[in-house]
A and B are shown apart, each in its own frame.
Chain A
């Protein structure tokens, strides 16, 4: 009895064995090779429900995004997200409602992210305040669930200015305020804290907090177990 190769179990007959058994010595090996798959071409990027795996690569045949993509997030709450290799940016991935931490009096608007081929993640979209009056002054809320790996910054935490608006469809309006989008990868003293909105000096009737132009390099940061 001959040997099997370590990776693909190809049969290697002993020198003393007869080569008359073509099935065992040749054809069964070829069948194993035929069964191997090559790169995967897809028309749309696989979702979490499709079984996307982090590290998986696919080639997207869409005419706007002809590129290899690497899956960087596949999470039951945040869905699947892909980083491009050739094209400069990915399509927008809309964060599903399950990514929202459902704090009281807040609603997730259409919040979406894209990845670029420089290793950065870009946010766009808003959260809506459903309470009466303005945002609570000086409050900090956990607006999104803990980011999975692949969305965390490459450093321990980062802070972005944001803007608000009360009536985005009926401009001009008079009231606006600033806020902060605070992303923390998780440290020993605050494990798992991610994606916090902070507010200050709210005096008007702000309703929407916008995340436009929030972007950072993705990395591991300080990841707590």
Chain B
């Protein structure tokens, strides 16, 4: 694809039927427009851009898609508000939302990503998370299936901690768990804890802070 579509005038001897001056002047117009496209003369983008053509604005780069100037998509602008998964653990006793940091999710439409934060509490008194799999698939509400991981599942490390005790010694337990996400009525979560945690006075919590995946 040529950048400058110039007239090529006939080589000598000159053809009297060809107006060389007109062709030459037309070429200057093409060159002028080409340089304007390249250099983005202010005050704005080129008047007749080509698809795929870029220009540099004050603080961004734009590309012409054929119908609009597309500027770099911001990550920060795409996040939704946090949605608390209230009622998420209905029928899943003894699991409840951690009172201080309930399980929440948000999605980013720009980057098609979901992020989790908050914690799941094993609410039974003195009930630790043992070395087993805990299914947290919601009964009635949850993360919409539209946010299922792109290939149906993902494996994410998360943090376990005993947060309910005021004794700092009880705060030492930390382990990896797996958050498994599968398509269904809602995005399903499963956690797997390796080893046994220390029993707490009112339950232990598993944290999902900064857990994220592409949907």
A163 at the interface (CB under 8 A from B): yes
B54 touches A178 (CB 8 A): no
A67 to B211, CA, bound (A): 28
B9 touches A39 (CB 8 A): no
B111 touches A116 (CB 8 A): yes
Given contacts A61-B52, A87-B73, A88-B110, whether A21 and B176 have CB atoms under 8 Å apart is no
Contact stretch, chosen from A26-34, A46-54, A99-107: A26-34
B111 touches A85 (CB 8 A): no
User: Residue B111 contacts which of A67, A88, A124, A176 (CB distance < 8 angstroms)?
Assistant: A88
Given contacts A26-B9, A61-B52, A171-B180, whether A176 and B14 have CB atoms under 8 Å apart is no
A118 to B12, CA, bound (A): 56
A66 at the interface (CB under 8 A from B): yes
Please name all residues of chain B whose beta carbon is closer than 8 Å to the beta carbon of A127 when the two chains form the complex: none
A22 to B212, CA, bound (A): 66
* Closest A residue by C-beta to B192: A176
B101 to chain A, nearest CB (A): 20
B63 touches A85 (CB 8 A): yes
A172 touches B2 (CB 8 A): no
B54 to chain A, nearest CB (A): 6
A77 to chain B, nearest CB (A): 24
B157 touches A162 (CB 8 A): yes
B86 at the interface (CB under 8 A from A): no
B20 touches A22 (CB 8 A): yes
B111 touches A163 (CB 8 A): no
Number of B residues whose C-beta is below 8 Å from A?
57
B59 to chain A, nearest CB (A): 14
A86 touches B178 (CB 8 A): no
A6 at the interface (CB under 8 A from B): no
B164 at the interface (CB under 8 A from A): no
A-contact 0/1 string along B37-78, CB 8 Å cutoff: 000000000000011111000000111010000111111001
Given contacts A86-B70, A88-B73, whether A213 and B212 have CB atoms under 8 Å apart is yes
User: Residue B9 contacts which of A22, A162, A201 (CB distance < 8 angstroms)?
Assistant: A22
B117 at the interface (CB under 8 A from A): no
Given contacts A22-B20, A67-B70, whether A30 and B61 have CB atoms under 8 Å apart is no
B157 touches A30 (CB 8 A): no
B17 at the interface (CB under 8 A from A): no
Given contacts A30-B27, A39-B54, whether A165 and B178 have CB atoms under 8 Å apart is yes
Given contacts A33-B4, A66-B65, A174-B133, whether A59 and B31 have CB atoms under 8 Å apart is no
User: Residue A37 contacts which of B3, B71, B111, B154 (CB distance < 8 angstroms)?
Assistant: B3
B residues near A (Cβ < 8 Å) are: 1-9, 11-12, 14, 20, 24, 27, 31, 50-54, 61-63, 65, 70-75, 78, 110-112, 131-133, 135, 151, 153-157, 175-176, 178, 180, 182, 190, 192, 194, 211-214
